[in-house]
């Protein structure tokens, strides 16, 4: 039997030399072959053998590691089933919201099936999600409002959102013909006793999916302040409100505030919303950081779609860092 040209240790040394020249010195296989005095095919075989012997450890770092870390932190701190933090690649809030809306559309479709009922809120975020929605087929679903409507806010009103989403999915929309705020508690009770209104809210309570935005209430541009002619920003701040969810004013811990508008609200209660199996929240932008953190403390959303800048601020709040330290 002929003696091997190289001993095992010599062969390993040669393979190691080739691997260093190829991976660390970034030299071509032809250059290596010419220097060592072997064929390029032999160099290729030695590189392959180096892999097979476990001598090469190639690590590829994902450009999305930071986003995945943020999503994991949001999920853990917010008690979520899932969280998505899309890259905020623009300083234009509308463009960032569009990216979050596209991710929300994907999240909705991932769990959607024929026969389901979807309860929705109104708002800009849901309108953006509907625009981004590109279903692969028609879905036999029902879409129902989770709140009453807002006069004069056609495009972002909950009834329009329900119709637009149903049309996009190929399903059927239902309307809730009641204002989001009754004039007083007695009128609210009367509205909720109307069979057509009660019937739509019963469908919303029994929904398979809830899709909703999260509103800020602390800045002058807060959408909540436009929902009612009687909205008083000062009074809202005095009761400690930090967010709104289905137009419920919530405090720092995500609990309903003791505010008259909460007692006049025509909408699902927070407990009813929390009882819906799949609850998807969409919110984006610096103005929403405190609001999102408050809502997550309350434990209602199951899934959150936002952008990475907003997510970073929310994580800081949930970790106990105040706005000045962020």
What is residue 325's predicted lDDT score, i.e. its pLDDT? 41
Report the distance separating Cα 235 and Cα 157, nearest Å. 25
What is residue 322's predicted lDDT score, i.e. its pLDDT? 60
SS3 144: strand
For residue 145, CA distances in Å to 54, 175, 177, 195 come to: 59, 7, 10, 15
Cross-strand partners of 112: none
SS3 28: coil
Report the distance separating Cα 144 and Cα 296, nearest Å. 24
Tens of pLDDT along the chain (326 residues)?
444 556 788 888 899 999 999 998 899 999 999 999 999 999 999 999 999 988 888 765 545 545 678 899 999 999 999 999 999 888 899 999 999 999 999 999 998 999 999 999 999 999 999 999 999 999 999 999 999 998 877 678 999 999 999 999 999 999 999 999 999 999 999 999 999 999 999 999 999 999 999 999 887 677 775 666 666 677 787 888 999 999 999 999 999 999 999 999 999 999 999 999 999 999 999 999 999 999 999 999 999 999 999 999 999 999 987 654 43
Report the distance separating Cα 109 and Cα 136, nearest Å. 9
CB atoms within 10 A of CB 92: 10
- Under a CB-based contact definition with an 8 Å cutoff, are residues 254 and 297 in contact? yes
Write the CATH number of the domain with boundaries 70-324.
3.40.50.1360
Report the distance separating Cα 254 and Cα 251, nearest Å. 5
**Model pTM?**
0.78
Cross-strand partners of 82: 303
CB atoms within 10 A of CB 203: 18
What is residue 59's predicted lDDT score, i.e. its pLDDT? 61
Residue intervals of the chain classified under CATH 1.10.10 are 8-53
Report the distance separating Cα 261 and Cα 245, nearest Å. 13
- Under a CB-based contact definition with an 8 Å cutoff, are residues 136 and 317 in contact? no
Residue with tokens 């508008």: 261
Domain 8-53, CATH number (from 1.10.357, 1.10.260, 1.25.40, 1.10.10) = 1.10.10
Report the distance separating Cα 29 and Cα 21, nearest Å. 9
Residue intervals of the chain classified under CATH 3.40.50.1360 are 70-324
CA angle 146, 78, 203 (to 5 degrees): 20
Residue with tokens 């309350």: 298
In angstroms and rounded to an integer, the radius of gyration of the C-alpha atoms of the chain is 28
DSSP-derived secondary structure for 71-127: HHHHHHHHT-SEEEEE----S-HHHHHHHHHHHHHHHHHHT--TT-EEEE--SHHHH
What is residue 324's predicted lDDT score, i.e. its pLDDT? 46
């Amino acid at each position: 039997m002929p003696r091997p040209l190289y001993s095992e240790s010599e062969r390993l040394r040669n393979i190691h030399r080739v691997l260093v020249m190829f991976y660390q010195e970034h030299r071509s296989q032809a250059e290596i072959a010419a220097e060592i005095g072997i064929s390029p095919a032999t160099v290729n075989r030695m590189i392959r053998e180096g892999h097979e012997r476990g001598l090469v450890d190639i690590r590829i770092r994902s450009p999305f590691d930071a986003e995945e870390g943020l999503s994991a932190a949001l999920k853990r701190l917010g008690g979520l089933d899932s969280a998505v933090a899309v890259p905020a690649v623009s300083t234009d809030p509308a463009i960032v919201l569009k990216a979050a809306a596209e991710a929300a559309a994907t999240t909705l479709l991932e769990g959607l099936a024929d026969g389901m009922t979807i309860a929705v809120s109104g708002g800009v975020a849901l309108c953006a999600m509907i625009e981004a929605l590109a279903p692969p087929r028609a879905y036999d679903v029902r879409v129902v409002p989770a709140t009453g409507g807002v006069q004069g806010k056609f495009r972002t009103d909950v009834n329009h959102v329900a119709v637009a989403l149903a049309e996009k999915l190929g399903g059927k929309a239902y309307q809730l013909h009641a204002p989001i705020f009754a004039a007083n508690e007695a009128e609210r009770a009367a509205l909720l006793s109307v069979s057509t209104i009660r019937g739509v809210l019963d469908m919303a309570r029994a929904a398979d999916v809830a899709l909703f935005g999260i509103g800020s209430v602390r800045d002058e541009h807060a959408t909540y302040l436009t929902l009612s002619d009687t909205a008083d920003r000062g009074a809202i701040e005095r009761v400690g409100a930090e967010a709104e969810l289905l137009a419920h004013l919530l405090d720092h811990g995500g609990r309903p505030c003791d505010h008259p508008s909460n007692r006049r609200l025509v909408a699902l209660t927070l407990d009813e919303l929390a009882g819906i199996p799949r609850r998807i929240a969409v919110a984006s932008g610096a103005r929403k950081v405190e609001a999102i953190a408050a809502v997550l403390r309350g434990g209602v959303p199951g899934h959150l779609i936002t952008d990475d800048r907003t997510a970073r601020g929310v994580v800081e709040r949930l970790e106990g860092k105040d706005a000045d330290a962020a």
